[in-house]
Structure 1
Amino acid sequence: MIALLSRRITSLLVTLLAVSLLVFVIMELLPGDPASIMLGTSATPETLAALRHDLGLDQPLILRYGRWLAGALSGDLGQSYTYGVPVAGLLLERLAVTLPLAVMAIVLSLLVAVPFGVLAASHRGRLLDVAASIFSQASVAVPAFWVALLLIILFSTRLGWMPAGGFPGWEAGALPAFRALLLPAIALALPQAGVLTRVTRSAMLDTLHEDFARTALAKGLSPSFVLWRHVLPNALVPILTILGLQFTFLVAGAVLVENVFNLPGLGRLAYQALSQRDVIVMQDVVLLFSGLVLIVNFLVDLSYLAIDPRMRSGT
């Protein structure tokens, strides 16, 4: 058990180090000079050289990477070229919007997909199963940003029930913040719920044919009890696997959805930093996104140990 955890933690750290190097190299290959963008086209070569020296852009690539990595490990993520403030505080401020949004989207996706998938498997070939199939295909085919626009038109413009965009801040209260995040969370959750519904149905159908399920039914247990108490827990491994992978798509979708709803989250920050060529902010945002995805997948791996006793023994 301890050896398995040690291997997983080591793999997590090595992967994060490789991702940091990849992110740094890709940011360096992007066209444009941050100093030129900050000073404009009228800047003299002497002024550009001085600013590049102040920003450390004239140092060797490997030295800049080492300095950035050391700062990231110590919590010093540098200072934004555009905003002129420490990046760490900027990321924490924006994370307070993106992280609750992602959690709400995952919870909504689970609340829709798991019951729908279980019921579709138990009614295979009937109307409910067909409805689940149509829902899965339609929700996956529709882009999240298009769903976001439809939600704004319906619930904000026409009905006036929900705000069309913006974020009041958590200091304004939990209810106003929740209202501001609800429509974006639905827009993010809908495509993921379609995928998760299909995976849940497939996993349930595979598990229903296992010997333990047939034995439980033969003992006289009710089909619904067997379905929810015995079959669903044994079908959780593929469901959790897809759930961990979906976090990556939620992070990517947040960039578009946050811009549609004008939310001050990490996705909008990444878009603004890219358009303004704020390299240090882009590097830190992408590294934070990558770290969150790796940590979520690590937690999914740990959940396997709790669900499947065979993995705790390394078999």
Structure 2
Amino acid sequence: MSWGAFLLRRAVALALTLAALSTLVFWATELLPGDAVSAVAGPSATEAERAAVRAELGLDRDVLTRYLEWLGGALRGDLGTGYTGARPVAELIADRLPHSLLLAGLALLVTVPVSLLLGLLAGGRAGRRADRAVSAGVLLVAGLPEFVLATVLLWLLAAEAGLFPRVSLVPLGGGPLATPEILVLPVLTLAASGVAVGTRLVRAAAAEVAAAPWVEAARLRGVSGARLAARHVLPGALAPAVQAFGLVTGALVGGAIVVETVFGYPGIGLELQQAVAHRDIPLVQGIALVLCACTLVAVLLADVAARALDPRRGSRP
């Protein structure tokens, strides 16, 4: 398959998947518990005031009409206006999303090399002591929810050691990079989860390559250790590993929701948590749709990179 056909197929698949997810996002938010009118009008509002608020928010129209209007606006880049603060959803996301992408990007910079190292170590020695030790360690971390990891790191590195702040407050008028110490604990929490998932995926790919005939031939020639892993196992495992990191990237962006809430980090995840608490449906829908889009783009880029790195492509067009 040519590059043009490959990219076209992936782009069409991404668009169709995002369209399906947009439908799921809208209808799922319709099932959220609570009443947006009560959240906006207040508990002491009269029935007349509640009816006025319902009409102002457009909630007096049938759900299908509201869905079609929301979908049409999303295609134009208009995600509506939030109930709280009456601020455009797209504007708010544009302010918060870079903070979350910074967090996920820094976590990915830690996740990729550590996962490759541990995955190659375990996969190249499948069934041996090193494999069992690495597999047990990452399985333990993978089994811990992110809020538990965050709590442990808070206790160890913030409360007990006092090395980092407990809350990731960004100074007014500045960004997270102005006070990099606030990033350490959220990044470590995300990276720990990313390494746990990434290592297992890389290990599976490396173990398959390590059992290949050309790797066995290299062993018979006396190649071993880091040289064997770097020259013979890594090239064959790199393409599936890159695809795995695409999935991990999506998980990191999604995992930021929990991590930002725990540390009070001003990203899109914390904004989503507050939007759910205030029944701000347009904001919940907009953030969920953008997170889905970020994950799909990460997977698409990983597929493209994996195809370029796949040694089996050879000279195929």
TM over 0.5: yes
Partner of 2:33: 31
Partner of 1:259: 261
Partner of 2:203: 201
Partner of 2:89: 87
Deviations 1:18-53 (A, max 9, x none): 111111111122233312221123222222222222
SS for the counterpart of 2:44 is coil
Measured after TM superposition, the shift of residue 218 of structure 1 is: 5.5
Partner of 1:214: 216
Q: Go from structure 1 to structure 2 and tell me whether the alpha carbon gap of 1:158 and 1:233 turns closer, same or farther (over 3 Å shift).
A: same
Measured after TM superposition, the shift of residue 237 of structure 1 is: 3.1
Measured after TM superposition, the shift of residue 224 of structure 1 is: 3.1
Partner of 2:285: 283
Measured after TM superposition, the shift of residue 174 of structure 1 is: 6.3
Moved more, 31-40 or 116-125: 116-125
Measured after TM superposition, the shift of residue 170 of structure 1 is: 9.4
Partner of 1:115: 117
Consecutive unaligned residues of structure 2, counting only runs of 5 or more, are: none
Counterpart amino acid of residue 14 in structure 1: L
- Is the 1:304–1:311 contact (alpha carbons within 8 Å) kept by the matching residues of 2? no
SS for the counterpart of 1:81 is coil
Measured after TM superposition, the shift of residue 80 of structure 1 is: 0.8
- Is the 1:121–1:129 contact (alpha carbons within 8 Å) kept by the matching residues of 2? yes
Measured after TM superposition, the shift of residue 229 of structure 1 is: 2.6
CA distance in 1, matches of 2:85, 2:183: 25
Consecutive unaligned residues of structure 1, counting only runs of 5 or more, are: none
Q: Go from structure 1 to structure 2 and tell me whether the alpha carbon gap of 1:223 and 1:37 turns closer, same or farther (over 3 Å shift).
A: closer
- Is the 1:170–1:177 contact (alpha carbons within 8 Å) kept by the matching residues of 2? no
CA distance in 1, matches of 2:100, 2:316: 36
Moved more, 116-125 or 157-166: 116-125
Measured after TM superposition, the shift of residue 222 of structure 1 is: 6.1
- Is the 2:205–2:241 contact (alpha carbons within 8 Å) kept by the matching residues of 1? yes
Deviations 1:93-133 (A, max 9, x none): 11122111111222212222211222233445555334312
What value does the CA root-mean-square deviation take over the aligned residues?
2.5
Measured after TM superposition, the shift of residue 151 of structure 1 is: 1.3
- Is the 1:217–1:223 contact (alpha carbons within 8 Å) kept by the matching residues of 2? no
Counterpart amino acid of residue 146 in structure 1: V
Deviations 1:233-280 (A, max 9, x none): 211233233322223432342222111101111111111111111000
Residue among 55, 61, 67 paired with 1:65: 67
Partner of 1:250: 252
Q: Go from structure 1 to structure 2 and tell me whether the alpha carbon gap of 1:7 and 1:109 turns closer, same or farther (over 3 Å shift).
A: same
CA distance in 2, matches of 1:32, 1:158: 39
Partner of 2:16: 14
Partner of 1:184: 186
CA distance in 2, matches of 1:19, 1:313: 37
Q: Go from structure 1 to structure 2 and tell me whether the alpha carbon gap of 1:185 and 1:42 turns closer, same or farther (over 3 Å shift).
A: same
CA distance in 2, matches of 1:174, 1:82: 25
- Is the 1:305–1:312 contact (alpha carbons within 8 Å) kept by the matching residues of 2? no
Deviations 1:271-296 (A, max 9, x none): 11111110000000110111111111
Counterpart amino acid of residue 100 in structure 2: T
Partner of 1:270: 272
Partner of 1:3: 5
SS for the counterpart of 1:260 is helix
1:232 aligns with 2:231: no
CA distance in 1, matches of 2:316, 2:280: 46
Deviations 1:146-194 (A, max 9, x none): 1211211222222222111123259646654432122111112213212
Partner of 1:302: 304
Residue among 103, 121, 125 paired with 1:101: 103
CA distance in 1, matches of 2:91, 2:307: 35
CA distance in 2, matches of 1:159, 1:268: 26
- Is the 2:238–2:310 contact (alpha carbons within 8 Å) kept by the matching residues of 1? no
CA distance in 2, matches of 1:224, 1:31: 55
Structure 1 stretches of 4+ moved >6 Å: 312-315
Counterpart amino acid of residue 130 in structure 2: L
Partner of 1:164: 166
